[in-house]
Structure 1
Amino acid sequence: MRAIRPVEAETPTRDQSAEVRALCTSVLGSLRRRDQRHKGELYVHGLLNTPGRKTMRNLAATTGRRSAEQSLHHFISCSTWDWSPLRAELTAGLERLLAPRAWVVRPLVIPKTGRHSVGVGRRFVPQLGQVVNSQHGYGLWLASGAGAAPVNWRLSLSGDWLDDTELRRRAAIPEDSADPRTAEALAVDMVLETAGWGASALPVVADAREEGVLPLVEAFSRARLPFLIRVGAGTGLLAPSLSAGRSRAVAGSAGGLAELARSQRRPVQWHDPAWPGHTRTSLVGLLPVRLPGGPPGPSALTLVGVWDPDRREVAELWLTGMSGAGRGALLGLGRLIGRADADFRGTSLSVGALDFEGRSYHGWHRHATLVSLAHASRLLGGGLHLGGGQVTSAPLQGGRRVRGRGRCAPVAAAGRAGVPVPGPDAASHGPAAG
C-alpha cells in the first residue's frame, strides 16, 4: 500500500534580516508617540539581548541608562498605549513572511509562589497532574511546517479576581471583564478577534481534551472558520449506522466509534517537529459523525483517528468540520501543535515569555505583545525550522488595525514567571514570587 505523503516545507532562500527590521518598524509604528516607539525598541532589544531573566532591571541594563528601569516599567505597566494594533500589524506581517497554514490555540501556565500577580490562583493543571498556584493564559500562534509564532493572547481571570473590587483596582482590570470566562470562551474570543483584524481564515487547531468540545465546535462553525480539535476518548458522539437497512445513528464515545474507522485506515508519513529531518508514519482513519444535541440530518463533522503502526489502541482523536480535507492534510494540521510547542521552548522562553514581573492586567498584555515581536524577530532572523507537520497552503490576505483598550493605573513591580505547560520536556525557570 502506498503511503500518503504530505507537501514538503518551503525553504527560505533569501536573507530575511531586512524584512525582520521592516516588520519591527511596522509593528512598533502602530504606537502613536515617538517616545513610545523608542521605548518599544529598547524593550524588544532587551528581550532579544538580555541574558537570563528579562526583569525590568536586567532589560534596563542593556540601555546603559540609570533611569531606564523606571521608564520601561511605566511604558509597560502604566502607559496608555493599546496593544491590539501592534498584534494586528504583527499578524499581517507574519502572514506574508511565515506563510502560516493554521492558527494554533496553545495554553500557557506560569507557576507563582505569591498571590499578587494578576490572575494568579490555585488551579489543577492536567499536564502536571496537580494543583498549582499559577497564572493561566492562552496564545494564538500562526504556524507552518517551517515555524510558529504567537500573535494574540488571553489571560484567564477567575471569579476571585473579578468579584474583588480591591483586587480589580490594584491590577487595573478593565470594567468589560465582568464575568469569569471559560477556557472555551477565551479561546473563541481570541480567535474571533484575530479574524476581525482581516487575517486569513486559516484552520483553527486546538487540543480540547480538557475543555468543552461543543462550545468550540459551535462557535467556529458559526464564524465559518475551519477547525481541527483534539478530543478525549470519552467524548460523546453520534455516527451513522453501518448496518444495511438501518438509518438510526449509533451513539458512543470517540474512542469506541474510532473502531468503525479501522478498516478505512491509510498510512501517512509526517515530519516530527521535535526531531528535524526525522520521518514517521501513522495510520489515519476517517468517520463521519455529529455531536449529540446537534442538528439532525447529514453528518457535518469528521472523526479523525490516528494509530501508531505497531499498536492496536488509537493514539489520537480529532474532530474537524473540514469534510473535504484528506488524511495527509489533517494529520499535518494536527502536527502543528507540536511545531508551536517546539518554538515556544526554543524561542519564546529565551525572549521572556515567562518573565513578566508586573502585577497589572495591561502590563501582562503589553509584555506578551512585545515578546511576540521578539519571538518573530528571532525566529525569522535566525532561520526557520524545517520539517514540521505539513498541510495544504491557503490564500493570504492583509490585516487591518484595530483599537480599543482601557487605561492602566500605576502598580508596583511583582514576581517572576515560572514553568510553561504543556510539555514535560519544556525548559523550566522554576516557580517565582507573584
Structure 2
Amino acid sequence: MHGSQTGLGCPVPFPAHSPTTDVEAQVTELADLLFRSFPRAGHRLKGEQYLRGLLTAPGRKTVRNIARALGDSGAAQRLHHFVCNAPWRWQPVREALAAHLTDAAPPQAWVVRPLVIPKAGEHSVGVHRRFEPETGQVVNGQQAHGLWYARPGMNAPVDWCLNPPARTLPGGRPQPVDLGPGRRPVTALLDRAGRPGGAAPAPVLWDCPAEDATDALRTLAALPLPGVVRLAGGTALDVLGPSGRRALGTPLPAERIAAAPGAPWLCGHDVAPGVRAVTVRVAAPRPRTAAPGRPADGLLLYAQWRADHPGRADFWLTSLVRAPAAELHRLTALAGQTARDTARTGARVGLRDFEGRSYAGWHRHMTLASAAYTALLRAGGRG
C-alpha cells in the first residue's frame, strides 16, 4: 500500500491542511493503486485526470464539465474516448478498490443497494420505463445495483451491475444481474471471499426489499456469504416453535408476528438507547402439498423500532440465526448509513451523470466514480 496508514487508512504523510489537500492526496494514492492494471501509461494519466475532474467539476460530472474543471477544453474528446472506447478492464480496478479498503480496515458488511438513474431519452444502454413503489411514479431510466464496502463511519461502492429492462423478466421485477456479457451478478466480487486474493468475508446486507418469503429465501440461498435481506412488513412467514416445528396453523405477516404481545415465540431486546427489537425463528411458508414436519429452512426474523418512530419498523430475514440481536442492530444500521452517504456523496461524484450510450462506458464511469466516492469520504468530505 502506498504510504503508511492509520485508522481507516487515511495517509499519514499528508498534513490535513484543508479538505482540498486531503482529497488531492487521496487522488494521488488511489491513482497509483487502482490503475496498475491499465495497459498504457497514457491511460493511467487520463484515469487520474478523470478521477480528479469528478471531484472538482461543478454541477453534473459530464466529460465537458470535467475537461473544463481541468482547464483543458480539448481534453473532453480524449476523456470520452478513454471512458467509452479505450481497451481497459474495469473489473481489476474494482477488485483493487475493494482490496484497498479492506486492507485499511475489514468490512463489517457488504451492502447491496439499488440505484435508479433517471434519463430523458431512450437511447442509453439499459434504459426502460418502470414503476417505482417508493414514489408511486413511473420512471424512465436505468436500474442498477451496487455493492458497497461498509463499516461504521465508512462506506464506498466497489462493484456495479446494470440491470436488464424489467419488462424482459418474469414478473417485471429488475434483478441484480448485469445485462452485459456473462450476465454477472452484483455479488460476483464476493465469490472468492476468504480465499487468497479474494474479498474479505463479511455478511451481505441485502437492502432491496424482497417481494415475498420465497424471494427472500432464494436471495439468501444465492449469496456467496451469510446474509440479511430486508422484508416488507406484509411478508408472510411461518413461526417456528422451540422444537423447530411450525408453531401455528397458518403463515402470518412479519409485522403481526413481531407485534403480538406476549407471544411465546418472541424474544425482546433493547439493542441500543431508544431502539427496541424482537427476534423470531421463522421459515418460508410451505406449499399446500408439502408434508408436515420440521422445515429445513429455519431462519431468523429480526424487527426493530425506534422510540421516536414507534409506528415504523424495519424487518429483516437472516441466515445468521445465532447472531445476538445487538449485532444484528449494528449490522442493519449500516443500511441507513450507506443510504445517507449515497444520497449525499453520490451526487458529488457523479454516480448518476454518465451521458454515453455504451455499456462499457457506463461501467468505466461508475468504476471511476466509485474511486472518487472513496477519495471524498476518506478525506473527510462527507456531506
| TM-score normalised by the chain length of structure 1 | 0.72
When structure 1 is superposed on structure 2, of 40-49 and 299-308 the one drifting more is 299-308
User: Structure 1 pair 148/264, CA: closer, same or farther in 2 (3 Å)?
Assistant: same
Which residue of the other structure, out of 325, 338, 341, is the alignment partner of 1:340? 338
Q: Which residue of 2 aligns with 1:236?
A: 236
State the shift of 1:366 in Å. Answer: 0.4
Q: Which amino acid aligns with 1:100?
A: P
1:288 paired to 2:281: yes
Q: Which residue of 2 aligns with 1:183?
A: 175
Q: Which residue of 2 aligns with 1:117?
A: 124
User: Structure 1 pair 342/247, CA: closer, same or farther in 2 (3 Å)?
Assistant: closer
1:301 paired to 2:299: yes
1:265 paired to 2:268: yes
Q: Secondary structure of 2:209's match?
A: coil
| TM-score normalised by the chain length of structure 2 | 0.81
Given that residues 84 and 358 in structure 2 are in contact (C-alpha distance below 8 angstroms), is that contact kept between their aligned partners in structure 1?
yes
Q: Which runs of 5+ in 1 are unaligned?
A: 1-9, 164-179, 270-279, 386-426, 428-434
Q: Identity percentage over the alignment?
A: 36
Q: Which runs of 5+ in 2 are unaligned?
A: 1-5, 15-24, 288-292
Q: Which residue of 2 aligns with 1:127?
A: 134
Counterparts of 2:360 and 2:87, CA distance in 1: 9
Q: Which residue of 2 aligns with 1:317?
A: 315
- 1:55-134 equivalences in 2 (<5 Å): 55-134=62-141
Given that residues 228 and 320 in structure 1 are in contact (C-alpha distance below 8 angstroms), is that contact kept between their aligned partners in structure 2?
yes
Q: Which residue of 2 aligns with 1:416?
A: none
Q: Secondary structure of 2:284's match?
A: coil
Higher relative contact order (CA 8 A, sep 6+): 1
User: Structure 1 pair 347/141, CA: closer, same or farther in 2 (3 Å)?
Assistant: same
Counterparts of 2:303 and 2:152, CA distance in 1: 21
Given that residues 101 and 203 in structure 1 are in contact (C-alpha distance below 8 angstroms), is that contact kept between their aligned partners in structure 2?
yes
Counterparts of 2:352 and 2:246, CA distance in 1: 55
Counterparts of 1:142 and 1:25, CA distance in 2: 20
Q: Which residue of 2 aligns with 1:382?
A: 380
Q: Which residue of 2 aligns with 1:255?
A: 255
Please list every run of at least 4 consecutive aligned residues from structure 1 whose deviation after the TM superposition is greater than 6 angstroms.
245-249
State the shift of 1:367 in Å. Answer: 0.2
Q: Which residue of 2 aligns with 1:204?
A: 204
Q: What's the CA shift string for 1:268-327, capped at 9, x where partnerless? A: 21xxxxxxxxxx521111111111249944653101121234776561211000011111
Residue correspondences, number: 348
1:362 paired to 2:360: yes
User: Structure 1 pair 93/181, CA: closer, same or farther in 2 (3 Å)?
Assistant: farther
Given that residues 16 and 381 in structure 1 are in contact (C-alpha distance below 8 angstroms), is that contact kept between their aligned partners in structure 2?
no
User: Structure 1 pair 101/261, CA: closer, same or farther in 2 (3 Å)?
Assistant: farther
Which residue of the other structure, out of 171, 185, 192, is the alignment partner of 2:188? 192
Q: Secondary structure of 1:70's match?
A: helix
Given that residues 220 and 319 in structure 2 are in contact (C-alpha distance below 8 angstroms), is that contact kept between their aligned partners in structure 1?
no
Q: Which amino acid aligns with 1:360?
A: S
State the shift of 1:382 in Å. Answer: 2.1
User: Structure 1 pair 14/73, CA: closer, same or farther in 2 (3 Å)?
Assistant: closer
Q: Which amino acid aligns with 2:303?
A: G
User: Structure 1 pair 65/54, CA: closer, same or farther in 2 (3 Å)?
Assistant: same
Counterparts of 2:127 and 2:152, CA distance in 1: 34
Q: Which residue of 1 aligns with 2:326?
A: 328
Q: Which residue of 2 aligns with 1:169?
A: none
Counterparts of 2:351 and 2:308, CA distance in 1: 38
Counterparts of 2:246 and 2:130, CA distance in 1: 46
Counterparts of 1:70 and 1:195, CA distance in 2: 37
State the shift of 1:74 in Å. Answer: 0.6
Q: Which residue of 1 aligns with 2:290?
A: none
More strand by share: 2
User: Structure 1 pair 82/306, CA: closer, same or farther in 2 (3 Å)?
Assistant: same
User: Structure 1 pair 78/224, CA: closer, same or farther in 2 (3 Å)?
Assistant: closer
Computed over aligned residues only, the root mean square deviation of the Cα atoms, in angstroms, reads 3.2
Given that residues 190 and 224 in structure 2 are in contact (C-alpha distance below 8 angstroms), is that contact kept between their aligned partners in structure 1?
no
State the shift of 1:350 in Å. Answer: 0.5
- 1:3-42 equivalences in 2 (<5 Å): 15-16=11-12, 20=26, 21-42=28-49
Counterparts of 1:51 and 1:17, CA distance in 2: 29
Q: Which residue of 2 aligns with 1:349?
A: 347
Counterparts of 1:309 and 1:26, CA distance in 2: 45
State the shift of 1:247 in Å. Answer: 6.4
